[in-house]
């Protein structure tokens, strides 16, 4: 059936006026110091780096950079708190502290959301509706486990591991801090956490809350810095466990570093998820799922559905619907409540995305970008998709970590399973079909830690999350998320 | 349908449809965009009275109101149409003479549709002869639920024929179809059979227009346009009494169908009390304060 193209005009006379979230109520410490032993202190050598707003490249605050000596101070504080207080505390009491943190996040949700969007560039509707509520939910969930570990591990004694060194990425700064801190505290460990260099502010706001909660000094320490700070933490002899979320490259380095040291470790790394759309799927809703799968958080999501597989007989329709849907995405000021796609987190990341888009075109892919106008200042990238690509294209193989979707078609179930698994990664996947049997069959055969059926990018504290193959090892969330933080005897 | 079969399923995922609604409805419409939206909403209203106790006097009052929404504000648009029962069509036609406001009449044994096809066609011809510009028919939900889709389709086609020049709005009565799958199928049937508009409900069955039903119908209209090039209108009716909800529906229309449907030619609200709430909001936007409902006429 070939008919002339009927287009819809989304460039309407009626436009939405700016609806900016107010920033009057937020308070950011200037300078933002290290949080060690319950106090905010400058680094030993007094060095600071700037954190900027990626939407306009303006400086937000000076942040203290932790050197090796500061890392040592933080680990010592954590060790002292572990030995003297936290490991000895009654589990019910530990639970109370964690509940208190959860409640304070809820109370100050708006402030957290605004700072998250300022510092990281994600749209306020996501930080408000996803990041912050999920962070509170994680603390609530693990607070509940604190005094019930005997039910999590029946017949065994769960002992804390000791001092946990935790390194988190810039894509979900507060949420990743919650994923790391909550289970570690619940199981009786103490913590040195290092947020990402480009997004330190919500973690430091969390430090303020932890101080307000009267958590015993040294139980949670938060230090900032780049790769060197992280390396010092990973290499520190008195750290018992490393939890890392970030790139596969750094993950491999960490694995090499800690091997033979007796340190426990969990790694949550990259992904290149297959999102699979069958011809019996509810198409309009599936298109929403594709959009949510790849454009959520500007595509800065390790489990993003960056490889779309559409069954051949519906591909033309789906792609045309998808392009039209992309036209209605609002790209712009992260603090505008109507923004769907915010700023790219950093210059480095923007350059990387542009490089891949360039490669995609050079390798012969057909590109489509939503016709949005991008702001002059700041780091921006239009939602992008590629067709006419295959498993041998680099943009299909490598993690781009941006709003770039690669679309392939398939004919049979076996073919799509083979292609879905044809990747070094294995973090997540999605299946869209009206048939329950197909969902169950596929989810067993795709080698990935999370498979979403008729939805994508949904998270819950009770659901374990983690990868196969080069997407990492260990699980976070759920009962399984307690495992990395206990020694069972 | 008439031009080629679609190559994808029309199954609807209710959970995800609702999620899309939530996302659309969370758009923040403020300042200038709100004023434009409120005025657009007013111009899309089918001011409705459909009660057994309707009198000629009430219909006359309603018609006067249709052309004089709030005379203290001079720039307000008129509503799109008046919607009444068949016996009131001559009254409304006379009262609206020269205003440019359409007369819409329900027909086909509204609201249940429970009578013979001949009787329905006779009724349609009568209201059109009396001057109705638009006819709002109901589908036979019993036949639809029995699976007699061809029967339902034929009936709509015959009513369309009986309408002549008058515009046909086909009421699906989504509250009785229950599932979104059914709503989608009924929408497709109605459009293929000749509907100019598809409409959610009679207002006599609960639930009437719900956001996910409206979304699914708009998406059906989008697919029909893609396949045939024909632009079918949409009318949520029943349950839309607040300005805020009406503006949220405009957002849904804007982001599903775009510019062409942001007009009374292709989008209407079937409502009785919506107009006053919208006017109240417009007055508030200009004065900064909400006024007592006593200042707004209740016709």
Task: For residues A261 and A398, state if they share a domain.
Answer: no
- Assess whether B136 carries a catalytic annotation: yes
Residues of chain A with pLDDT under 50: 1-3
Q: Does A390 touch chain B (CB under 8 A)?
A: no
Question: Distance from CA of residue B148 to its chain's centroid?
Answer: 25
Task: For residues A147 and A216, state if they share a domain.
Answer: yes
Q: Does B15 touch chain A (CB under 8 A)?
A: yes
- Assess whether A116 carries a catalytic annotation: no
The answer to whether position A438 is within a domain reads yes
Compute the nearest-CA separation of B241 from chain A (Å): 22
Task: For residues A370 and A480, state if they share a domain.
Answer: no
Cα B283 from Cα B296, distance rounded (Å): 10
Yes or no, beta carbons of A281 and B9 under 8 Å apart: yes
Quote the pLDDT of residue A4.
60
Yes or no, beta carbons of B9 and A1 under 8 Å apart: no
Counting the structural domains of chain A, the total is: 2
Yes or no, beta carbons of B13 and A13 under 8 Å apart: no
CATH number for the domain including A367?
3.40.309.10
Quote the pLDDT of residue B1.
40
Quote the pLDDT of residue B297.
83
Task: For residues A196 and A264, state if they share a domain.
Answer: yes
The answer to whether position A13 is within a domain reads no
The answer to whether position A19 is within a domain reads no
The answer to whether position A183 is within a domain reads yes
Task: For residues A98 and A170, state if they share a domain.
Answer: yes
Task: For residues A227 and A196, state if they share a domain.
Answer: yes
Q: Can you tell me the mean pLDDT for B217-234?
A: 97
pLDDT higher than 50, residue B229: yes
Kindly write down the DSSP assignment for every residue of B6-25, as one continuous string: -SS-----HHHHHHHHHHHH
Q: Sign of torsion, CA A330 B259 B132 B229?
A: negative
Chain B residues with beta carbon closer than 8 angstroms to that of A289: 16
Provide the strand spans (E) within B60-166: 81-84, 102-106, 134-138
Q: Which of A9, A313, A320 sits opposite B258 (nearest CB)?
A: A9
Quote the pLDDT of residue A468.
96
8-state DSSP, B237: B
The answer to whether position A10 is within a domain reads no
Q: Does B109 touch chain A (CB under 8 A)?
A: no
CATH number for the domain including A241?
3.40.605.10
Chain B residues with beta carbon closer than 8 angstroms to that of A277: none
Chain A residues with beta carbon closer than 8 angstroms to that of B36: 14
Chain A residues with beta carbon closer than 8 angstroms to that of B259: 8-13
Owner of token pair 């970008």: A369
Compute the nearest-CA separation of B16 from chain A (Å): 6
Residue A146's domain spans which residues? 34-269+468-488
Residue pairs spanning A and B at CB distance below 8 A: 107
Q: Tens of pLDDT along B250-278?
A: 999 999 999 999 999 999 999 989 999 99
Quote the pLDDT of residue B286.
85
Burial level of A56, CB count in 10 A (0-12/13-18/19+)?
middle
Q: Tens of pLDDT along A414-442?
A: 999 999 999 999 999 999 999 999 999 99
Q: In chain B, what are the domains?
A: 14-284 (3.20.20.70)
Cα A410 from Cα A397, distance rounded (Å): 17
Q: Which residues 336-365 of chain A have a CB within 8 Å of chain B?
A: 337-338
Cα A271 from Cα A428, distance rounded (Å): 7
Task: For residues A296 and A414, state if they share a domain.
Answer: yes
Cα B192 from Cα A242, distance rounded (Å): 63
The answer to whether position A18 is within a domain reads no
ipTM: 0.94
Yes or no, beta carbons of B27 and A16 under 8 Å apart: yes
Q: Which of A9, A14, A281 sits opposite B33 (nearest CB)?
A: A14
Q: Which of A19, A337, A434 sits opposite B9 (nearest CB)?
A: A434
Where does the pLDDT of residue B4 fall: very low under 50, low under 70, confident under 90, or very high at 90 and above? very low
Chain B residues with beta carbon closer than 8 angstroms to that of A125: 26
The answer to whether position A14 is within a domain reads no
Task: For residues A289 and A183, state if they share a domain.
Answer: no
Q: How far is CA A487 from CA A83, A189, A284, B197, in A?
A: 16, 11, 48, 67
Task: For residues A209 and A352, state if they share a domain.
Answer: no
- Hey, how many other C-beta atoms are within 10 angstroms of the C-beta on A459? 16
Task: For residues A154 and A212, state if they share a domain.
Answer: yes
Task: For residues A127 and A263, state if they share a domain.
Answer: yes
Q: Sign of torsion, CA A34 A36 A40 A45?
A: negative
pLDDT higher than 80, residue B238: yes
The answer to whether position A26 is within a domain reads no
Task: For residues A393 and A432, state if they share a domain.
Answer: yes
């Amino acid at each position: 059936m070939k008919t002339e193209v009927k287009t819809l005009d989304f460039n309407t006379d009626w436009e939405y006026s700016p609806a900016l979230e107010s920033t009057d109520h937020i308070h950011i410490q200037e300078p933002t110091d290290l949080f060690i032993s319950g106090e905010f202190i400058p680094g030993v050598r007094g060095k600071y780096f700037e954190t900027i707003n990626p939407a306009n490249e303006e400086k937000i605050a000076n942040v203290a950079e932790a050197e090796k000596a500061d890392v040592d101070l933080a680990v010592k504080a954590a060790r002292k708190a572990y030995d003297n207080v936290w490991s000895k505390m009654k589990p019910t009491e530990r639970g109370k502290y964690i509940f208190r943190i959860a409640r304070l996040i809820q109370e100050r949700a708006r402030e957290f959301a605004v700072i998250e969007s300022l510092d990281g560039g994600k749209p306020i509707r996501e930080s408000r509706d996803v990041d912050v509520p999920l962070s509170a939910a994680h603390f609530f969930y693990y607070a509940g486990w604190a005094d019930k570990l005997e039910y999590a591990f029946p017949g065994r004694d769960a002992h804390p591991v000791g001092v946990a060194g935790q390194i988190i990425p810039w894509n979900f700064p507060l949420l990743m801090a919650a994923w790391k801190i909550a289970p570690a505290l619940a199981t009786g460990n103490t913590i040195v956490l290092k947020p990402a260099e480009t997004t330190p502010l919500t973690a430091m706001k969390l430090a303020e809350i932890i101080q307000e909660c009267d958590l015993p000094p040294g139980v949670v320490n938060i230090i900032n810095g780049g790769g060197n700070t992280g390396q010092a933490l990973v290499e520190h002899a008195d750290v018992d466990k490393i939890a890392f979320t970030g790139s596969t490259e750094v993950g491999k380095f960490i694995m090499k570093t800690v091997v033979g040291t007796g340190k426990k470790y969990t790694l949550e790394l990259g992904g290149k998820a297959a999102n699979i759309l069958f011809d019996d799927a509810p198409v309009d809703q599936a298109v929403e799922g594709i959009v949510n799968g790849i454009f959520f958080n500007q595509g800065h999501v390790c489990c993003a559905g960056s490889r779309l597989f559409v069954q051949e007989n519906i591909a033309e329709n789906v792609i045309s619907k998808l392009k039209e849907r992309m036209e209605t995405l609002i790209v712009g000021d992260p603090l505008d409540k109507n923004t769907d796609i915010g700023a790219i987190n950093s210059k480095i990341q923007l350059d990387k995305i542009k490089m891949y888009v360039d490669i995609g075109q050079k390798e012969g892919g057909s590109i489509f970008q939503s016709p949005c106008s991008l702001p002059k200042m700041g780091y921006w990238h239009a939602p992008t998709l590629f067709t006419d690509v295959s498993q041998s294209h680099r943009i299909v193989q490598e993690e781009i970590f941006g709003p770039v979707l690669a679309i392939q078609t398939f004919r049979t179930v076996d073919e799509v399973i083979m292609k879905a698994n044809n990747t070094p990664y294995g973090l997540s996947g999605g299946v869209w079909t009206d048939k329950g049997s197909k969902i169950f069959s596929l989810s067993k055969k795709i080698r990935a830690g999370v498979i979403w059926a008729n939805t994508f990018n949904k998270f819950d504290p009770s659901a374990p999350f983690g990868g196969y193959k080069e997407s990492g090892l260990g699980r976070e969330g759920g009962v399984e998320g307690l495992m990395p933080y206990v020694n069972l005897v | 349908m008439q031009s080629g079969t679609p190559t994808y399923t029309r199954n609807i995922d209710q959970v995800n449809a609702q999620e899309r609604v939530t996302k659309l409805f969370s758009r923040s419409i403020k300042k200038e965009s709100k004023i434009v939206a409120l005025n657009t909403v007013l111009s899309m209203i089918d001011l409705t009275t459909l009660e057994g106790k309707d009198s000629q006097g009430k219909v006359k009052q309603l018609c006067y109101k249709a052309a004089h929404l709030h005379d203290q504000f001079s720039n307000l648009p008129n509503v799109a149409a008046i919607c009444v029962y068949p016996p009131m069509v001559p009254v409304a036609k006379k009262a609206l003479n020269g205003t440019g406001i359409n007369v819409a009449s329900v027909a086909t044994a509204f609201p249940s549709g429970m009578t013979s096809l001949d009787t329905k066609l006779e009724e349609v011809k009568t209201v059109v002869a009396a001057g109705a510009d638009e006819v709002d028919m109901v589908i036979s939900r019993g036949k639809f639920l029995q699976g007699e889709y061809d029967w339902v389709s034929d009936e709509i086609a015959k009513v369309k024929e009986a309408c002549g020049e008058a515009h046909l709005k086909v009421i699906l009565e989504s509250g009785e179809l229950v599932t979104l799958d059914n709503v989608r199928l009924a929408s497709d049937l109605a459009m293929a059979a000749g509907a100019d508009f598809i409409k959610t409900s009679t207002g006599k069955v609960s639930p009437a227009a719900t956001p996910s039903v409206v979304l699914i119908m708009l998406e059906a209209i989008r697919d029909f346009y893609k396949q045939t090039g024909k632009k079918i209108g949409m009318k949520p009716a029943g349950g839309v009494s607040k300005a805020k909800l009406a503006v949220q529906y405009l957002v849904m229309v804007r982001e599903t169908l775009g510019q062409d449907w942001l007009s009374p030619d292709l989008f209407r609200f079937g409502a009785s009390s919506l107009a006053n709430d919208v006017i109240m909001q417009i007055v508030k936007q200009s004065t900064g304060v909400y006024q007592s409902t006593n200042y707004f006429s209740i016709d």
